[in-house]
Chain A
Amino acid sequence: MELAVAEQRFAGMTCAEAAELAPAFVLGALGAAEADAVRSHLAECPELHAEMAELHSVVPALFEAVEPVAPPAGLKDRILAAAAADLAARRGAAAQPAPVQPVSAQPLPTRPAEVPRRGTDFGSVFRRPIWSAVAIAAALAVVALGVWNVQLRDQLTGLEAYRNDVVKILDAAAQPGAQLAVLTDPTGGRGPSGLAAVAADGSVAMVMRDLKPTTGTQVYEAWLIGADQVPVAIGGFEVGGSGTASFVTTHAAMGEGVVVALTLEPQPGATAPTPPILAVGTAHAQSS
């Protein structure tokens, strides 16, 4: 069976022919036609091409062979300004004129003329995870400019997890009857921020970033505040060095416009929130 597969042509190429081109393919040293043929073969062929994977795994090492060169002053600003202009253009293209709440924790560029700090457009956030793209952008810029250390690597690992969780939250908020809350620092500072999806049955999925790690018995506690203005604890979670956390819990539905809030409690089981409220947002339905 394996022999039969190996002898078959996938995308006009046998496994042996693909294997012969493997070193040049992983190094990007094939002409376009040959590279396309290998790519197509890999896409269609059921074989694993283990040697291709082995050779490919070496390629990132070659980056480390490069002598670091200090980037020119101003490059970071140029990159961030270009990213901000791109974001602004996309927001403009989204044409959803209903900003609801500012997202304050995003380290966007600081050129006010080019970077209008508008409120978050839920519509555009919802259609495409631009918001998470913004979150990752500054970290990418730092990497691009050669600053790299263990701390940053941990942050990026956390950011990747955060980013994937954001996508899940947005998916959850897309369900019929679900609401989405953008949680931000109520003081307008650079405190924690995140998203919470409140499903029709009341279950809540939350993802937060820029949280200080918990110590000892500390927990972050999430609260729902309904029309009666009484905060109801819906569960707590601890946070490690990444500063990000995701959290899913179930609770009876509290209707449209429920407020989602986050506090840091000295120990689990709090029945009333301990000030200050670190992040808060009002849930709104995403579909009309």
Chain B
Amino acid sequence: MAYGIAYRITGDRSAAEDVVQDAFLGAWRNAARYAGARGTVRTWLLSIVHHRAIDAVRRRRPTVELPDSESGLPDTLTLPDTWAAVELRLDRAAVQVALGRISDVQREAIELAYFGGFTQTEIADRTGVPLGTVKGRLRLGLQGLRAALLPPNAADGAGRG
């Protein structure tokens, strides 16, 4: 799975291999920090792979402002502990169904952001729509995915603004 994510983002087998190795060693060296991270080991590791892969593709675009990646760890590790997570259904079939429920433009915006490594401003430029529209697509897309992935008994209490 990690290799698949790295390959999806980099589009290059050799680069994907480097990313996975790099991410693994990052995880290895920072294993002591895992205890403070929420979520599973798998999500933690895949987040690191994603983070490294995005770094790799952004480095190919010298005009892009690079995020601070000194630690090589994604933001998911530094979010407040007070956030209680509702367990979403994360099996592959459920995710595929959920992706089918959001609009094409919402899905495109999310994919460009998460797998393309583009900022929302860059997505607006590439797709030729205003920044505000991109923000709306990302928000509605994520909210739509979340609604589709909530377990049935949690849907009632899952209000959102």
Listed in ascending order, the chain A residues whose CB lies under 8 Å from chain B are 20, 22-33, 35-36, 39, 42-43, 48-72, 75, 78-79, 82-83, 86, 128-129, 132-133, 136-137, 139-141, 143-146, 148, 153, 156-157, 159-160, 163-164, 167
Contact = CB atoms under 8 A, between A and B. Distances in A.
Contacts, number: 219
A167 B85 CA distance: 25
Contact of B41 (A20, A22, A139): A139
A61 B144 CA distance: 12
B35 A163 contact: yes
Interface in B31-87: 31-32, 34-35, 39-43, 45-47, 49-51, 54, 65-68, 74-76, 78-80, 82-86
Interface size class of B (residues with CB under 8 A): 35 or more
Q: At the interface, is chain A mostly helix, strand, loop or mixed?
A: helix
Contacts of A145: 2-3, 20
A91 to B, nearest CB: 14
B152 interface: no
A36 B46 CA distance: 22
B25 interface: yes
10 contacts: A24-B138, A31-B65, A43-B80, A51-B161, A54-B158, A58-B142, A65-B95, A66-B4, A79-B21, A157-B40
A27 B49 CA distance: 14
Contacts of B27: 140
Given A24-B119, A144-B3, A32 B42 contact: no
Contacts of A140: 24, 27-28, 31, 41, 45
Q: Which of A27, A31, A51, A153 has the most CB of B within 10 A?
A: A27
Given A145-B3, A156-B40, A23 B142 contact: yes
A53 B142 CA distance: 12
